[in-house]
């Protein structure tokens, strides 16, 4: 499980869940504007990957967009629900 913070573009500073990666790009969702059906494609150099996550966050199950919203909210607060 990876999270990413946008470093460039109109979404600078926003937090995303990384759905997948390929040759220099990541596909990001946030559960609100970018959904699982249509992830945002962003260059890897324009995001900061967050690989070290608390156990409470890594244990959360991701099934749909509402789960992603809960995960991002829990991470930004510093604790999981």
Q: What is the pLDDT of residue 78?
A: 80
Residues 79 and 65: their CA atoms lie apart, in Å, by: 19
Q: What is the pTM of this model?
A: 0.89
Burial 58-81 (b: 16+ CB within 10 A, else e): eebeeeebeebeebbebbeeeebe
Spatial CA neighbour of 53 closest among 35, 80, 22, 21: 80
pLDDT attached to residue 81? 46
How much is the pLDDT for 54? 87
Containing domain of residue 22, as a range? 3-77
Residue 23: Cβ within 10 Å count: 5
Contact 74, 59 (CB under 8 A): no
Number of domains in the chain: 1
Instruction: Give mean pLDDT in consecutive 10-residue pieces for the chain, a chain of 81 residues.
Output: 94 96 96 96 96 88 94 82 46
């Amino acid at each position: 499980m990876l999270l990413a913070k946008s470093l460039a573009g109109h979404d600078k500073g926003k937090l995303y869940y990384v759905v997948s990666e390929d040759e220099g790009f990541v596909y990001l969702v946030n559960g609100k504007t970018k959904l699982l059906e249509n992830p945002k494609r962003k260059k890897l150099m324009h995001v900061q990957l967050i690989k070290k996550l608390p156990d409470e966050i890594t244990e959360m199950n991701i099934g749909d967009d509402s789960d992603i919203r809960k995960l991002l909210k829990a991470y930004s607060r510093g604790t999981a629900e």
